[in-house]
């Protein structure tokens, strides 16, 4: 298949169009929270597998098979994240959700969509999870529940988390989609070295997600810090590190290419702290509606995903150092925005409109234990 720039951009855009297509916008708010999230994950992964097979087998016939396949992969991706977050709010107590989110975004979990359906769970484990999440009203069927969109759209905490997630994703899209082009144009790496070095920042991101998510859980258990404070501190480190190291990379020329790669790895490692930061806050604000809120946030992520490659290719159309530096300057500014927005208006506490009022009144009198009972195997 002959390579043309506009066809490459069409393939990239196809993924993002699938990410926020009208059918997916409806799916954001409905199946993840109201029906079986596990089946949504199975369906989305199956669709992604079929789409990737179609790309591999039929792209040589026509480029439109590649574009259609990328659209279907985007469609599947849009269904996946809200379903995963819906599962996390059902399965994990508040103190453990950050680490669970880090694991889930590194590898997808299998099993039942709620603890009560798990055949291997013990009575003690089920009781612990149920009591820990009692005030959040996440364990029952949600098919009759209406999503409180007015409350969601009017919540500063929701908007702060959404903006922070978008500001996290935008620089990551630049790195993931265009890092090989940047290393080739600016630092003159060969194709073989380029492929290996381009994988290092992604590996740094994955390791950072796991380590920092565990750190969030540890801080909740061993310090007196509030959940919101922990999320804001970790998110601030993420935004600051991501922005500073991206900017630092622009100060280096091809004679110091290894140091530039190190800075890019550090920037991605810093971005991993967003998982226990704004992304954990996003699923903590209204656990009963986590699928809807996640879909709402990733709608804007998908929009930025369409803008990003178009803007980047327009700026770096000649591949000069100045053009790539401009791309990184934009990503730096966007990465630093959550330092203001999320720290001022962000929160990781369950919002009053998302609580089961009857159960929360009882739970205030008798708080559930914060550690698993001794009888849990």
Dump pLDDT digits (tens) for 195-244. Answer: 778 888 888 998 998 888 888 888 888 888 998 999 999 999 999 999 99
**Listed range (90-104, 120-134, 182-196, 293-307) with the worst mean pLDDT:** 120-134
**Listed range (7-11, 89-93, 244-248, 278-282) with the worst mean pLDDT:** 7-11
What pLDDT does 119 receive?
Answer: 46
Are the C-beta atoms of 286 and 349 separated by less than 8 Å? no
What pLDDT does 361 receive?
Answer: 46
**pLDDT tens, residue by residue, 297-353:** 888 887 888 888 889 989 998 989 999 999 999 999 999 999 999 999 999 898 888
End-to-end CA distance of the chain: 56
What pLDDT does 209 receive?
Answer: 87
Decide: pTM greater than 0.85: no
Question: What b/e readout covers 94-130, taking b as 16+ CB neighbours within 10 angstroms?
Answer: bbbbbbbbbbbbeeeeeebbbbeeeeebeeebebbbb
- What average pLDDT does range 66-83 have in this prediction? 77
What pLDDT does 238 receive?
Answer: 95
Q: What fold, for 153-354?
A: Growth Hormone; Chain: A; (1.20.1250)
> Is residue 110 pLDDT above 80, yes or no?
no
- Confidence bin at 75 (pLDDT 50/70/90): confident
What pLDDT does 363 receive?
Answer: 45
What pLDDT does 268 receive?
Answer: 93
Kindly list the domain boundaries of the chain, sorted by start residue: 5-143, 153-354
Average pLDDT of the chain, as a whole number: 77
- Confidence bin at 16 (pLDDT 50/70/90): low
Q: What percent of the chain has pLDDT over 70?
A: 67
- Confidence bin at 30 (pLDDT 50/70/90): low
> Is residue 82 pLDDT above 90, yes or no?
no
CB under 8 Å to 89, separation ≥6 — which residues?
97, 133, 136, 138, 283, 287, 288, 290
Greater confidence (139 vs 355) lies with: 355
């Amino acid at each position: 298949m002959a390579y043309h720039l506009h066809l490459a951009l069409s393939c990239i855009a196809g993924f993002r169009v699938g990410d926020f297509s009208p059918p997916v916008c409806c799916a954001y708010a409905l199946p993840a929270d109201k029906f079986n999230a596990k089946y949504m994950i199975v369906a989305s992964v199956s669709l992604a597998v079929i789409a990737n097979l179609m790309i591999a087998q039929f792209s040589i016939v026509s480029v439109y098979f590649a574009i259609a396949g990328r659209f279907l992969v985007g469609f599947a991706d849009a269904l996946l994240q809200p379903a995963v977050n819906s599962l996390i709010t059902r399965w994990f107590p508040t103190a453990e959700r950050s680490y669970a989110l880090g694991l889930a975004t590194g590898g997808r979990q299998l099993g039942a969509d709620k603890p009560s359906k798990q055949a291997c769970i013990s009575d003690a484990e089920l009781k612990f999870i149920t009591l820990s999440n009692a005030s959040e009203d996440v364990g029952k069927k949600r098919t009759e529940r209406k999503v409180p969109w007015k409350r969601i759209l009017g919540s500063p905490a929701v908007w702060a988390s959404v903006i922070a997630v978008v500001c996290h994703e935008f620089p990551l899209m630049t790195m993931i989609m265009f890092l090989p082009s940047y290393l080739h144009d600016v630092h003159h790496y060969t194709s073989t070295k380029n492929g290996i070095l381009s994988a290092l920042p992604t590996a740094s991101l994955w390791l950072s997600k796991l380590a920092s998510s565990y750190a969030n859980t540890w801080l909740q258990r061993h310090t007196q810090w509030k959940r919101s404070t922990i999320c804001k501190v970790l998110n601030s480190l993420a935004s600051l590190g991501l922005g500073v190291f991206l900017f630092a990379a622009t100060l280096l020329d091809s004679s110091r290419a290894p140091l530039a790669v190190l800075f890019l790895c550090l920037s991605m490692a810093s971005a991993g702290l967003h998982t226990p930061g704004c992304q954990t806050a996003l699923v903590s604000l209204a656990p009963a509606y986590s699928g809807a809120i996640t879909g709402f946030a990733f709608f804007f992520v998908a929009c930025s995903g369409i803008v990003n490659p178009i803007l980047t290719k327009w700026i770096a159309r000649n591949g000069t150092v100045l053009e790539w530096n401009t791309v990184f300057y934009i990503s730096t500014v966007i990465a630093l925005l959550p330092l203001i927005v999320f720290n001022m208006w962000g929160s990781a506490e369950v919002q009053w409109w998302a609580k089961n009022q009857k159960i929360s009144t009882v739970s205030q009198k008798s708080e559930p234990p914060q550690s698993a009972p001794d009888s849990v195997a």
